[in-house]
Amino acid sequence: MATARKAAKKPAAKKSAAKKPAAKKSAAKKSAAKKAPAAKKAAPKKAVAKKAATKRKPNAAFMRAMTPSAVLAAVIGNSPMPRTEVTKKIWDYIKKNKLQDAVNRRLINADEKLKAVFGGKHKVSMFEMTKLVSNHLK
């Protein structure tokens, strides 16, 4: 019986020894877990400060005055203007004449003036519009 007691004690001692290193590992995991969120929180603050410090410069190619073709001039006027202004004037014309599609707001229903600009298309997406308008700028 004494041997049974010794055998019972030995595994218990091994179990407690096995538990101690596991406890140390979990403490290490906890401290590592605490450090990781602190690093993640610091990164967005730096990014926000960086964005605020640098100001975007306008691209010179977009700001160069372009002369519209006669077809496009009927919609926006014939004075030379940058591409950004051309797009703004076309959107003003679209909204003034209610040419934006009611169901899918990304589509533009062309009237007679815009149909000439859009190459005869009845409906054009807003992304395709800028491509078609660029063909009318020199």
Q: Which two tokens stand for residue 64?
A: 């160069």
Compute the distance between CA of residue 79 and CA of residue 76 in angstroms, rounded to an integer: 9
Question: pLDDT tens digits for the chain (138 residues)?
Answer: 555 555 555 555 555 555 555 555 555 555 555 555 555 555 555 555 555 567 888 778 778 999 999 999 999 999 999 999 999 999 999 999 999 999 999 999 999 999 999 999 999 999 999 999 999 998
Cα gap 68→137, rounded to integer Å: 5
3-state secondary structure of 6: helix
Contact 123, 110 (CB under 8 A): yes
Whole-structure pTM value: 0.57
Residue 81's DSSP bridge partners are 66
Domains of the chain: 64-134 (1.10.245.10)
- Please state the φ and ψ torsions of residue 101, each to the nearest 5 degrees: -65, 135
- Which pair of tokens denotes residue 42? 């610091």
